[in-house]
């Protein structure tokens, strides 16, 4: 089957790990005042504006091209010339791609015989919106603006101030920002009095970059940034340097669809961070890491983008921290693993608009441990910060007709320019036609829009890869669940709420509905549909269908009468399962998992095996569920899939988070933990227990190695377990928990050994010593009787025969 499907899965993996360089649709790079085209250090090609081609951008007004008589050898070639404007002048750029654009203006105030550029004072505007007023530069300045261009032209206008007779510029960059670079909806406003939604549109403002910081990292130049930005280290902004300690990794970040992109922040931003400077002895101290970023006190509003990537945790859900902006809590109990789609080292970003109190000339950012980290190692991190001043644009877009008025205003009275501009803009607003609204990104509850910029969703759901005929109309689901009746709720999880329901023809189903506003889930949703629509197996929960209408994301599964295995082991008061039932359940789950690993050429790794993801049908038939995190296995020429650590605390393969390498042996490890859970009837992690008992895997292995595993067997079944069966079972679990994947058995081996354990339990005649020679083929004929209903399942039979063929060649653990 499934060459296409596998190709699709490998494509997903490919997309996650690689991306091509960003090529802006509009891209104008101008070397002003120069007749030559230059390639600069970052390999971009700047066109001289004096050349036949470049001059086409320059229109109106009087200008002179000026060359620095004594060019500094250490400065950019762009700075050896400048264009001088002695009256109002402009550059015009055709815009193909309506949307946010980056505009950079380079100023390098050299002096020549006739002009000392330090004396220039002028106004710069873009499509009639003021970018700089009364601007003058005493040293090299690069001004960067991000603004919405919603027509087919961008005009950058230079106008000398009244007390200066010229304006100048050395270089101009204008290029389109990547899609979804900034999204208007749902930005949080942090002001001294309140936290609320920022109700204005960023797209109606102009952003001017004030700080762009690579926290914990080195200076980055346009040469090493995807959007040719400069990022500087954070050290000088730290209020207390000793509070912070640099964290870094050599692994490139796991960019996830829906999270930050390489254009939002390049690898280097996310591969370094500052973390709390704590050692073991001081681990009880609670403190914040704080940075103060100077801003001009008259600029009250700033756009603040914080970048995060968990490069410090070794497993998921161990890092919780708070983020404060200007002393106000901006994010409480931030759990990056939740926001970053259950991945470690997966970059996300969060946007805020910050209103400073009067006369405050700093933006203060702090991160510190949250109360939730009480039983965990306390830490808090930050990878990057961008602070942009929000410029309320003075003026408005002008039409051709108003251009003459502009020039008139410019040449008559520069001094009262701002005032005139304000009056003029009011008039223009009244006069101008209503402009088309900027294109808006649809906001839905699905995507974590504000947390990571939320690239638009749904692309993976289109196309031929997903099962047709699985779509279920929302109305049918409403009917099936009595309009999501609270009384029908049977569970809830990371993805959303699960309801019991009845679809037409009395089909009992479990309906998993994404909670609107839930900040995760799209990738899981897609993976789950992709995997389950292609794979059917008696021991894998099957997907009945899905619904993707408006902002709904709903998965419909076959209903599993008896719920998760965990509930039958502890904590819910259900009658205890017999040892034989437990073995049969483990065998069923192992069979499902074995099929997942080997049933297709490339194999699929589940990644989140735990007792709540093994569901029980009538007759306690076990089925593996929740494929949201699964990934396709290694390609032929690799032995692992390199990926971020996903999965659940307590079940995670230690090798997996050490090396961030995923193999099917990671599932084997998790399954080993489940086996001990079944044997001991206690959770994989129980923080209330004594230190050495917290992790079931470690604790059980201690007893197993001492040869005293019977001491920790669930007392409900102690009397019924045969010694030989227990021995086989616990040895199997032990092998699953081997430190290194290579030392662990395959699921096929595990399956066989569990079958054997069942045989030993059932066979009255079994002699202790024979159990040692565990590969004796005499047990084979009995294999497969363990689980009811298997005989009618073709795929299960195939699986079984594969197990045997494998057993013949394996050395049989």
Ligand X SMILES: *[C@@H]1O[C@H](CO)[C@@H](O)[C@H](O)[C@H]1NC(C)=O
Instruction: Return the residue of 96, 440, 715, 718 that touches ligand X, per CB under 6 A.
Output: 440
| Backbone φ and ψ of 608, nearest 5° | -140, 50
Query: By CB neighbour count within 10 A (0-12 exposed, 13-18 middle, 19+ buried), where does 164 fall?
Result: middle
When the beta carbons of 210 and 529 are compared against ligand X, the nearer one is 210
x/- binding map, residues 466-495, to ligand X, per CB under 6 A? ------------------------------
When the beta carbons of 124 and 701 are compared against ligand X, the nearer one is 124
415 forms part of the interface with ligand X (CB under 6 A): yes
Instruction: Return the residue of 24, 178, 368, 741 that touches ligand X, per CB under 6 A.
Output: 368
Residues binding ligand X: number (CB under 6 A): 33
Query: Per CB under 6 A, which region of 147-155, 200-208, 579-587, 602-610 contacts ligand X?
Result: 200-208
With a CB cutoff of 8 Å and minimum separation 6, the contacts of 400 are none
Instruction: Return the residue of 255, 324, 352, 779 that touches ligand X, per CB under 6 A.
Output: 324
Residues in 114-153 that interact with ligand X by CB under 6 A: 133-134
Contact 590, 582 (CB under 8 A): no
Structure tokens at 234: 């954070």
With a CB cutoff of 8 Å and minimum separation 6, the contacts of 530 are 5, 8, 9, 460, 465, 466
Instruction: Return the residue of 31, 89, 125, 366 that touches ligand X, per CB under 6 A.
Output: 366
- Catalytic residues, by residue number, are 608
Give the closest residue to 121 by CA, choosing from 183, 167, 60, 69: 167
418 forms part of the interface with ligand X (CB under 6 A): yes
When the beta carbons of 192 and 327 are compared against ligand X, the nearer one is 327
3-state secondary structure of 680: helix
Radius of gyration of the chain (CA): 32
Gap between the Cα atoms of 587 and 589, Å rounded: 6
Contact 647, 608 (CB under 8 A): yes
Contact 131, 157 (CB under 8 A): no
Query: Per CB under 6 A, which region of 57-65, 282-290, 389-397, 545-553 contacts ligand X?
Result: 282-290
x/- binding map, residues 41-80, to ligand X, per CB under 6 A? ----------xxx------------------x-xx-----
3-state secondary structure of 176: strand
Residues in 651-680 that interact with ligand X by CB under 6 A: none
192 forms part of the interface with ligand X (CB under 6 A): no
Q: Could you tell me the smallest distance in angstroms from the CB atom of residue 439 to ligand X? A: 9
Structure tokens at 548: 């993707």
Query: Per CB under 6 A, which region of 173-181, 242-250, 286-294, 351-359 contacts ligand X?
Result: 286-294
Q: From residue 541, give the alpha-carbon distance in Å to each of 129, 312, 602, 789.
A: 58, 35, 20, 15
163 forms part of the interface with ligand X (CB under 6 A): yes
Instruction: Return the residue of 223, 423, 475, 658 that touches ligand X, per CB under 6 A.
Output: 223
DSSP string, 566-617: HHHHSSS-PPPPPHHHHHHHHHHHHHHHHHHHHSSSS-EE-----GGGEEE-
Instruction: Return the residue of 10, 97, 221, 795 that touches ligand X, per CB under 6 A.
Output: 221
34 forms part of the interface with ligand X (CB under 6 A): no
Gap between the Cα atoms of 333 and 371, Å rounded: 8
Q: Could you tell me the smallest distance in angstroms from the CB atom of residue 35 to ligand X? A: 8
Q: Could you tell me the smallest distance in angstroms from the CB atom of residue 329 to ligand X? A: 7
Is 512 annotated as belonging to a binding site? yes
Return the C-alpha torsion angle 198, 203, 207, 213, nearest 10: 70
Binding residues: 512
Q: Known binding site for ATP: residues?
A: 512
Binding site for ligand X (CB under 6 A): 37, 51-53, 72, 74-75, 133-134, 161, 163, 199-201, 204, 218, 220-221, 223-224, 268, 286-288, 324, 327, 366, 368, 415, 418, 437-438, 440
């Amino acid at each position: 089957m499934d060459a296409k499907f596998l190709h699709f899965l490998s494509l997903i993996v490919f997309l996650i790990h690689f991306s091509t360089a960003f090529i802006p649709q509009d891209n104008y790079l101008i070397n002003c005042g120069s007749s030559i085209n230059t390639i600069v250090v970052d390999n971009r090609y700047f066109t001289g504006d004096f050349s036949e081609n470049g001059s086409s951008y320059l229109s109106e007004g009087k200008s002179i091209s000026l060359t620095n008589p004594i060019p500094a050898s250490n400065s950019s070639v762009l700075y050896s010339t400048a264009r001088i404007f002695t009256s109002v002048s402009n550059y015009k750029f055709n815009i193909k791609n309506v949307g946010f654009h980056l505009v950079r203006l380079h100023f390098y105030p050299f002096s020549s015989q006739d002009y000392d550029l330090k004396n220039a004072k002028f106004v710069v505007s873009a499509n009639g919106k003021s970018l700089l007023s009364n601007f003058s530069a005493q040293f090299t300045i690069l001004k960067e603006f991000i603004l919405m261009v919603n027509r087919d032209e961008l005009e950058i206008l230079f106008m000398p101030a009244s007390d200066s007779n010229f304006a100048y510029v050395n270089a101009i960059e204008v290029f389109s920002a990547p899609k979804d670079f900034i999204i208007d909806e749902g930005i949080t406003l942090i002001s001294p009095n309140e936290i609320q939604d920022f109700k204005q549109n960023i797209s109606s403002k102009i952003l001017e970059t004030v700080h762009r910081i690579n926290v914990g990292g080195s200076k980055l130049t346009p040469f090493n940034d995807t959007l040719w930005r400069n990022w500087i280290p954070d050290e000088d902004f730290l209020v207390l340097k000793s509070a912070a300690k640099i964290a870094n990794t050599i692994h490139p970040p796991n960019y996830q669809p829906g999270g930050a992109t390489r254009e939002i922040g390049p690898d280097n931003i996310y591969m370094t961070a500052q973390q709390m400077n704590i050692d073991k002895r001081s681990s009880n101290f609670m403190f914040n890491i704080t940075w103060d970023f100077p801003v001009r006190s008259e600029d009250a509003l700033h756009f603040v983008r914080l970048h995060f990537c968990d490069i410090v945790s070794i497993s998921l859900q161990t890092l919780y921290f708070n983020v404060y902006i200007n002393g106000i809590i901006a994010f409480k109990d931030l759990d990056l693993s939740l926001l970053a789609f259950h991945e470690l080292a997966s970059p996300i970003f969060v946007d805020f608009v910050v209103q400073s109190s009067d006369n405050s000339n700093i933006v203060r950012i702090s991160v510190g441990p949250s109360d939730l980290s009480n039983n965990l190692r306390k830490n808090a991190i930050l990878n990057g910060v961008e602070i942009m001043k929000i410029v309320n644009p003075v003026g408005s877009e002008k039409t051709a007709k108003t251009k003459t008025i502009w020039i008139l205003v410019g040449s008559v009275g520069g001094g009262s320019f701002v005032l005139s501009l304000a009056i003029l803009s009011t008039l223009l607003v009244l006069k101008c036609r209503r402009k088309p609204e900027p294109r808006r990104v649809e906001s839905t509850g699905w995507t974590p829009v504000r947390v990571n910029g939320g690239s638009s969703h749904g692309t993976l759901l289109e196309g031929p890869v997903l099962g047709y005929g699985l779509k279920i109309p929302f109305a049918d689901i409403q009917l099936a669940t009595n309009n999501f009746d609270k009384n029908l709720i049977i569970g809830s999880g990371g993805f959303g709420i699960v309801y019991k329901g009845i679809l037409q023809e009395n089909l009992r189903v479990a309906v998993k509905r994404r909670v609107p506003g839930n900040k995760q889930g799209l990738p899981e949703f897609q993976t789950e549909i992709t995997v389950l629509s292609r794979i059917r197996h008696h021991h894998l929960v099957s997907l009945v269908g899905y619904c993707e209408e408006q902002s709904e994301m709903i998965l419909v599964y076959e209903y599993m009468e008896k719920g998760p295995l965990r509930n039958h082991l502890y904590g819910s008061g259900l009658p205890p399962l017999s040892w034989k039932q437990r073995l049969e359940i483990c065998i069923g789950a192992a069979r499902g998992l074995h099929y997942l690993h080997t049933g297709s050429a490339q194999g699929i790794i589940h990644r989140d095996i735990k007792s709540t993801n093994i569901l029980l049908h009538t007759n306690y038939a076990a089925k593996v569920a929740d494929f949201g995190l699964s990934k396709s296995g290694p390609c032929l020429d690799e032995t692992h899939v390199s990926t971020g650590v996903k999965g659940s605390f307590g079940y995670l393969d230690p090798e997996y988070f050490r090396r961030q390498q995923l193999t099917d042996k990671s599932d084997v490890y998790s399954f080993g933990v489940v086996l001990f859970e079944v044997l001991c009837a206690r959770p994989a992690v129980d923080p209330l227990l004594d230190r050495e008992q917290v992790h079931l895997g470690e604790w059980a292995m201690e007893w197993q190695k001492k040869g005293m595993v019977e001491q920790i067997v669930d007392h409900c079944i102690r009397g019924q377990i045969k010694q030989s069966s227990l021995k086989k079972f616990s040895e199997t679990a032990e092998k699953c928990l081997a430190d290194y994947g290579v030392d662990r058995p395959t699921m096929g081996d595990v399956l066989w050994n569990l079958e054997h354990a069942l045989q030993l339990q059932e066979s009255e005649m079994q002699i202790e010593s024979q159990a040692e020679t565990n590969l004796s083929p005499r047990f084979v004929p009995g294999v497969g009787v363990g689980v009811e209903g298997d005989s009618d399942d073709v795929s299960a039979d195939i699986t079984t025969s594969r197990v045997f063929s494998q057993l013949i060649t394996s050395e049989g653990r």
